Structure 1
Amino acid sequence: MIDFLELENKLKKNEISNCYIFCGSDERSIKKNINKIIDISVKKDFLDLNYVQLDGMTVDKETIINACETLPFMSDKKVVVIYRANFLRDKVDKSMEKVSKEINEYVKKLPTECILIMYYIFDNDREKESNKVKKISKIATGVKFSKLKGSMLQKKVKTIFDEKNKKIDKVELALFCNAVENNMDIIENEVEKLCCFALGREITSEDIMEIVSSKNDNDIFNLVDYLSQRKPRRALDILNELLFKGESVTSILRMIERQFKLLFDIKLGVESSKTKETMSRELKLHPYICEKMMIQSKKFTLLQIQKSIELCLNTEKLLKSSSVDAKTEMELLIIETASV
């Protein structure tokens, strides 16, 4: 198995394999690289004749063989893509298991003029490639499209800024990657917005915090900030926005708990005369975020933060031990916390 950054490097050199197995949580990157392979391998004038899409949920062996063994027209190569190839997962029904075994055998004798690409999307970011994918990757090119993190994400995002001829320093780049949702579609949109906003000058941290659409961590920061200002109505608005985005009540509650625990540690650090640099290193926070939380911590006393954590834990215990209305309990938590 290789990662998609290695695949992209190979495609830049026009190094194309005969068969690809793609899997991962980043469907946009999967489709983008499929299009790159098609652009390299198939003439646009004859795309309709040399590019075939098959639905992996309904496909059978005969359809796949027919698509792969039909000779390309006015081209050296043809591309066959099987999307939603869920027969590559470990646990499937008997019909899909049969297709999986047949495909595994057929790939060994795939015609050289055909490029076969099969892919399926992970159900969540924690999912790993199936044993079937590991096995077939011994005779095909297996590529895992995981969401990038840390320095790898920063490196990828830097290339997007470079493509737009926009300079961004390391500190601002790290802040941007920390602030934006880890989704390449969203990242590209936010880069475009930021470049337009900072037209003719360098990007600043303030630009990023003002322009970039906040991810859920920033929403939680703002929610807690409204609690510190005793504005429960505004905090409830953010709660409803998060629920509308599809966040569960339990995940929102965990994020609020984490925010208060961080505030507690930062409050202790401030009272112990620790520097921003020391705390950002100890708590693994970006210095700009740490500075904002230091300011936020001044709006609470240690006792208020402790009480807020207790209220969160009580709400968590209630949600786990009884059949209450989760949304109502979260609303009550916000109202109570705002009056601590």
Structure 2
Amino acid sequence: MSDVTNILASLKQKKYAPVYFLCGSEPYFIDQVSDYIEDNVLDEGEKGFNQMVIYGKEATMEEVLENAKRFPMMSDYQVIIVKEAQHLVKQLAKLESYIEQPQPTTILVFAYKYKTPDGRSKITKLLKKHAVYMESKPLYENKVPAFVTGRLKEMGYQIDPNATRMLVEFLGNDLGKINNELSKLALVHSKEQPITPQVIEDNIGISKDYNNFELRKALGVRDVVKVHRIINYFAENPKENPFVLTTAQLYSFFVQLLKVHTLKDMNPQAVAKAAGVNPFFVQEIITAAKNYPMKYCSRAIKVIRDMDVKSKGVGTHQADPTDLLKEAMVNIMSK
């Protein structure tokens, strides 16, 4: 994200480069930069003659370069944005001479999504040397909560940590989807009030009481009744609560506890860092660590792995996910 931040900061200062090559598997950051250029470099009067969007699926590199070499009309710059540029992968080498001597009054942007060009090729080396080259990578899950709070802060909103956790669990690290949901929330929720779990439940449809984080919390305090209540809710709403996601969350939970058990000092800051959680949730982790000593965490991880294997049909026949989950919870919570 630092590359995105630096690029946007330069653009806002009107420091433009002749070529931007935006690539990688996370389309959100690519769109963030290309959309900013499309919306802000030229004013509305200049865009009619000096801004063009080309789609790589429908164009050739020769056409792109022919337009890039033109001079702007009654403007300091012309902007050419090549969307779906990954479809030009076999023609990238034709960029070599232009990259070394680009048209200084053209801002040429390639939105090369879902992949990166061959790093060994001459053109990629030239792009890295002479252009603004950005490789957009997905955020690790533990970085997504900060993205959510940061994005909402930009929009003028505050969000409760539990609400953030609900969003991240439900939407994963798909930043485009997260941004869309946050934009929808902004249409219906006042900036005067923080976004709470109830707001998320009312507007996005995620249950604030029956989700994987509530399951982990109930498991951590050995609340047998609540654990089984949540599992029954999952059984009734399997599409919103996929078994594979629950398995991953449970595995991650006990791995976190194992990391905490390796600490010599169980102060909140050290626990938050070891577990990779917001300090707001440290007490939950400390309580769970007390309830599950290291050997129990190791056993729990084995139980979860066995459950995962059985769910895939290994060593059993048509195992029901709910039954597997209930059996695993009993084995994990037994002493």
Q: Secondary structure at the match of 2:111?
A: strand
Q: How many equivalent residue pairs?
A: 308
Q: Report the alpha carbon displacement of residue 16 of structure 1 after superposing the two structures with TM.
A: 0.8
Q: Report the alpha carbon displacement of residue 102 of structure 1 after superposing the two structures with TM.
A: 0.7
Determine whether 1:137 maps to 2:136. no
Distance 1:313 1:49, change over 3 A: same
1:113-167 deviations in Å (ceiling 9; x for gaps): 32211121235xxx89844534322122212334567899859954752662x6x
Q: Secondary structure at the match of 1:73?
A: coil
Determine whether 1:236 maps to 2:235. yes
Q: Secondary structure at the match of 2:240?
A: helix
Alignment check: 8 A CA contact 1:175 1:286 kept: no
TM-score by length of 2: 0.68
TM-score by length of 1: 0.67
Q: Report the alpha carbon displacement of residue 261 of structure 1 after superposing the two structures with TM.
A: 4.4
Alignment check: 8 A CA contact 2:77 2:106 kept: yes
Determine whether 1:113 maps to 2:105. yes
The one-letter code matched in structure 2 to 1:33 is V
The one-letter code matched in structure 2 to 1:255 is Q
1:187-220 deviations in Å (ceiling 9; x for gaps): 585488589867547x5xxx655545779xx942
Q: Distance in 2 between matches of 1:192 and 1:12?
A: 26
Alignment check: 8 A CA contact 2:27 2:176 kept: no
Alignment check: 8 A CA contact 1:236 1:334 kept: no
Q: Distance in 2 between matches of 1:65 and 1:278?
A: 54
Q: Which moved more, 1:113-122 or 1:251-260?
A: 251-260
Q: Secondary structure at the match of 1:21?
A: strand
Q: Distance in 1 between matches of 2:310 and 2:145?
A: 38
Question: 1:216-231, aligned counterparts within 5 Å?
Answer: 219-224=211-216, 228=224, 229=226, 230-231=228-229
Gaps of 5+ in 2: none
Alignment check: 8 A CA contact 1:18 1:115 kept: yes
Distance 1:195 1:118, change over 3 A: closer
Matched with 1:259 is 253
Q: Secondary structure at the match of 1:138?
A: helix
The one-letter code matched in structure 2 to 1:133 is T
Matched with 1:91 is none
Matched with 1:42 is 42
Distance 1:252 1:10, change over 3 A: same
Q: Report the alpha carbon displacement of residue 177 of structure 1 after superposing the two structures with TM.
A: 6.6
Q: Distance in 2 between matches of 1:153 and 1:256?
A: 18
Q: Distance in 2 between matches of 1:261 and 1:61?
A: 49
Q: Secondary structure at the match of 2:110?
A: strand
Determine whether 1:102 maps to 2:94. yes
Determine whether 1:66 maps to 2:58. no
Gaps of 5+ in 1: 89-95
Alignment check: 8 A CA contact 1:79 1:116 kept: yes
Q: Distance in 1 between matches of 2:138 and 2:76?
A: 34
Q: Secondary structure at the match of 1:120?
A: strand
Q: Report the alpha carbon displacement of residue 36 of structure 1 after superposing the two structures with TM.
A: 2.7
Q: Report the alpha carbon displacement of residue 236 of structure 1 after superposing the two structures with TM.
A: 2.8
Determine whether 1:292 maps to 2:284. yes
Alignment check: 8 A CA contact 2:247 2:308 kept: yes
Q: Report the alpha carbon displacement of residue 299 of structure 1 after superposing the two structures with TM.
A: 8.4
Alignment check: 8 A CA contact 1:61 1:102 kept: yes
Distance 1:174 1:300, change over 3 A: closer
1:206-246 deviations in Å (ceiling 9; x for gaps): x655545779xx94223445774222321335653244xxx
Q: Distance in 2 between matches of 1:34 and 1:62?
A: 21
Alignment check: 8 A CA contact 1:54 1:80 kept: yes
Determine whether 1:85 maps to 2:82. no
Distance 1:15 1:288, change over 3 A: same
Q: Report the alpha carbon displacement of residue 329 of structure 1 after superposing the two structures with TM.
A: 5.4
Distance 1:274 1:239, change over 3 A: farther
